[in-house]
Amino acid sequence: MNSGSTPTTSRGEQAKNQLIRAALAQFGEYGLHATTRDIAAEAGQNIAAITYYFGSKEELYMACADWIGDFIDGNLKPHLEGAVALLAAAQPDKAAIRERILAACCDMIHLLTADETLNLSKFISREQLSPTSAYQQLHQRVIAPMHSHLTSLVACYTGRDAQDTETILHTHAMMGEILTFRLLRETLLLRTGWSQFDESSTRQICAVVTQHIDFVLQGLCIHRGGASDEK
């Protein structure tokens, strides 16, 4: 009986994964206006499979958010754990903090320049501009922890308050620079003459972003407190 049940489970998981991949592409392109018929067709599944495995289009949409959460968590969890360990030290090592910030940012660059994450980016971009309950799920699960830990690392390195709005804004701007390599992808490819993002171009992007992050961190150390010091 065990040998008979394994293929069924495997086929079921395969069908669910095909539907989620297709749904990510369709939802990324059309949002909730995507049709179950088009999703099923792209997945190579019967339309009834969506109801069978997920219940409804809306529940499939939430399942896509869960999948994205798992994907982001799997890629960034080591950085979050590393940040927690560094920040828990009585006297955090500044060089180690810098390396952790740079490593996290470069990993994000690699993720955001990969073709296979394009549909994921489209899905999240739609949620950023027109948030649904799916965004709240993603935010609480992975985006907020990533954002807050990076802010804490920046604050610790520069001697600022991690809860201060200005520190949050500086960190957000840092992350925004990384996001431009996805959102302004075509502009960069045309300006550089690159046909695509490959290992060489991604390495160049990481090198430039590293320089920018160092400028920001050094500048924030010099001008610690910003406008509040001038009052």
pLDDT: which is higher, 61 or 228: 61
pLDDT for residue 227: 43
**Which pLDDT band holds residue 9 (cuts at 50, 70, 90)?**
low
pLDDT for residue 5: 41
Residue 81 class from Cβ within 10 Å (0-12 exposed, 13-18 middle, 19+ buried)?
Answer: exposed
**Which residues 6+ apart lie within 8 Å of 210 measured at CB?**
102, 105, 106
* For residues 33-51, average pLDDT: 96
pLDDT tens sequence across 97-114: 999 999 999 999 999 999
Question: Among the listed ranges 27-36, 75-84, 148-157, which one has the minimum average pLDDT value?
Answer: 75-84
Q: Is the pLDDT of residue 45 over 50?
A: yes
Q: Is the pLDDT of residue 3 over 80?
A: no
Matching fold, domains 1-55 and 61-225: no
- Decide which of 3.40.50.10420, 1.10.357.10, 1.20.1090.10, 3.40.50.720 is the CATH code for 61-225: 1.10.357.10
pLDDT for residue 231: 36
The domains of the chain are located at 1-55, 61-225
In angstroms, the CA 83 to CA 70 distance is 19
Say yes or no: domain 1-55 is CATH 3.30.2130.10: no
pLDDT for residue 26: 97
Q: Is the pLDDT of residue 225 over 80?
A: no
Angle between helix 57-87 and helix 144-158 axes, rounded to 10 deg: 20
Q: Is the pLDDT of residue 8 over 70?
A: no
